[in-house]
Structure 1
Amino acid sequence: MDTLSKIFAAPRIKEAKFTRLEASAPWGIVSPGERVVKFVHVVGGSAVLTTPDSFEPTRLLSGDVFLLLDDAAYKIFDDERSLLIDCVDVERGRVGDRIEFGGGGATTTFNSGSFEIERFERDSVLDVLPQFLHLKESEGRTAAFASVLDMLAVETAAPGLGADAAVARLFELLFIHAIRAYARDDGSPKRGWLAAVSDHRLKSVIEAIHADPARDWTIDALARTAGMSRSAFAVHFKNVLEQTPLEYLTAWRVHCASALLVKSSSTISEVARKAGYGSDAAFNKVFKRVTGHTPAMFRKANGVGPHLGTPRL
């Protein structure tokens, strides 16, 4: 199982929300951002989007898709002279899954959605991606990606039995295809495990660690997997991931243990063994050092209440 499949081995999407927005000129929206993943498909018309980190406005055309990750703030409008309306005020015009607003001129239509990712999974996904992804229709979108967008349009145009569950699963597929598209783009900067799986020398190493985190990995064994000398491997791994191989191994083990603590009924001793630790004491020490909490505290919280630290991959 490849790295992205490991991370999305079970549904992680929750609180999925869909909106079909009809914005007629002049129109503009401003949002301070919220802790969700937000995607927008420009069905027809055009728009301009800006974010605090963008050097220049992004022109959006019919067929384009963009994603805003985590709490990215943004402004989107038809013209820079248009009045910007707070997204909360725009939301008040919702009727079911539809919102119509603007001055009555030329219309731009958006299919947009937002969803949350399981708390303990957030960092492993969002830390490797920029806050803003713009996926142009003209840049070789795959047939599968296009099919997901088509299915979303069908499910939301005429909702049927189980529509909410279907839309949530389609959101997850859309997110996976967006990450794939970003990974294929040689011009996009990569970091974390996404940088590693994009590196022909480290891809097999990351997949081996993810496939068997409990194995007694050594630098020598990982270097052999990469087909490199021990010293060259250690330097190259640190340069690409900004972590040593053993730091990454520890982070992935704690990530896997976090999932088991939240999603399974395994005892803490069983979780420790599955994560590669020979004793509860060793597991507790490492888990608390990485997350700031003991495994028992993490399980008790069960994703509710104050944010519990998770390992950075």
Structure 2
Amino acid sequence: MDPLEDVLALVGTTGRMSVALAGRGEWAVAFEPPDGVKFNAVRSGRCLLSVDGLEPIALAPGDCFLLIEPRAFTLASGPGVATIPAGPLFRAARDGIARAGMRPTADPGMDEATKSDAEGDDDVFIIGGRFDFGHRAGEILLAALPPVIHVPGDTPAADALRWALDLIDTEMRDRPMGSALVTEHLAMVMLIHILRLVDAPPTGWLAGLSDPVVAPALRVMHARPADPWTVADLARTAAVSRSTLAARFRQVVGRAPLDYLTDWRIELAADRLRRDDGTVAVIARGVGYRSESALSNAFKRVTGQSPREYRRSQTVAPPPGAHRPPPA
């Protein structure tokens, strides 16, 4: 299996679109630190993204970004503009669009120039949403990523995103049957493309996916985690010596191959425990341990809890789409 697919599935990744944002004239909207990973894409116009603790990023047409960490941020027409909070603005949205900035109200008594200005196009139009992840995402996925991922729209790397954004635009504008589900799936496509575009971090499993020595070993461990792997077995999959794989794996991923395998087995076991999928003994065999006690010892060493304690501490989350909070 593909390790990226494995991890996205394991951490329960879901995506949803929110209300769009249109800006005109001078405007600035302040957002609270988001739950999950926030994303926005500029469909037209230009604006400025300011994230707490980071340098501002100028956004142009076609640009998109992921805000990986829960930091407050502002979208604005430019620097130095007084902000308004996003919550009330988005709650007052009409036809799926929140509007920021001064806009004269068109009425029959206006002269033609003022009326034309009131009915004219917006300076900036931004679509957005968020990705939600299970509670383990921070350790096995998000920790490997920078706080903000910015994909400029005028680069070849953005071509893969453009078709998804165009389809999202169409779905959000026309609202055909099933549009909410379609846009959620398109958002997931966007996430995968953006993760492919990220420069690999210096260490971690994400870095290993692009390493010619480490990647084959990662793939077979994800494909057959219950197999009794040895470092020699894994080295043969990469066509290198045992010592070469061990050294390279530790250099790139930050831990030894079999330590990584243990951690991945524990993640799989934890997922099954959260879903109440079998007895501890059955789960142990399913993830590569010969006995319940062997899994229990490894599980407590990694998580600080026994499998039974962990299962009691978890609640089963509702299926994706069962509860949709209002857009914000």
State the TM-score bracket (shorter-chain normalisation).
Answer: 0.7 to 0.9
Question: Structure 1 residues 13 and 140 mapped into 2: Cα distance closer, same or farther (>3 Å)?
Answer: same
Residue 65 of structure 1 corresponds to: 64
1:148 aligns with 2:147: no
1:296 aligns with 2:308: yes
- 1:25–1:103 CA contact under 8 A, matched in 2: yes
1:169 aligns with 2:182: no
**TM-score, with normalisation over the residues of structure 2?**
0.83
Residue 269 of structure 1 corresponds to: 281
Give the percent of matched residue pairs that are identical in Structure 1 and Structure 2: 29
Q: How do 1:157-306 residues align onto structure 2 when only pairs under 5 Å count?
A: 157-182=173-198, 185=199, 189-263=201-275, 265-300=277-312, 301-303=314-316
1:94 deviation in Å?
Answer: 2.4
- 2:11–2:135 CA contact under 8 A, matched in 1: no
Residue 308 of structure 1 corresponds to: none
1:3 deviation in Å?
Answer: 1.4
Instruction: Provide the rounded CA distance (Å) in 2 between the counterparts of 1:254 and 1:66.
Output: 32
1:143 deviation in Å?
Answer: 5.1
Instruction: Provide the rounded CA distance (Å) in 2 between the counterparts of 1:189 and 1:86.
Output: 34
Residue 99 of structure 1 corresponds to: 98
Instruction: Provide the rounded CA distance (Å) in 2 between the counterparts of 1:191 and 1:95.
Output: 45
Report the aligned-residue RMSD.
Answer: 2.4
Instruction: Provide the rounded CA distance (Å) in 1 between the counterparts of 2:182 and 2:305.
Output: 36
- 1:262–1:302 CA contact under 8 A, matched in 2: yes
From the CA coordinates, give the structure whose radius of gyration is larger: 2
Counterpart secondary structure, 1:119: coil
Q: How do 1:16-95 residues align onto structure 2 when only pairs under 5 Å count?
A: 16-54=16-54, 56-95=55-94
Residue 310 of structure 1 corresponds to: none
Residue deviations 1:106-125 (CA, integer Å, cap 9, x gap) = 62110111231233445322
Counterpart secondary structure, 1:246: helix
- 2:16–2:130 CA contact under 8 A, matched in 1: yes
Query: Gaps (5+ residues) in structure 2?
Result: 104-116, 318-328
Instruction: Count residues in correspondence.
Output: 299
Instruction: Provide the rounded CA distance (Å) in 2 between the counterparts of 1:100 and 1:181.
Output: 31
Residue deviations 1:19-41 (CA, integer Å, cap 9, x gap) = 21101121112234122111101
Query: Gaps (5+ residues) in structure 1?
Result: 305-313
Instruction: Provide the rounded CA distance (Å) in 2 between the counterparts of 1:127 and 1:287.
Output: 21
Name which of structure 1's ranges 12-21 and 243-252 shifts more when overlaid on structure 2. Answer: 12-21
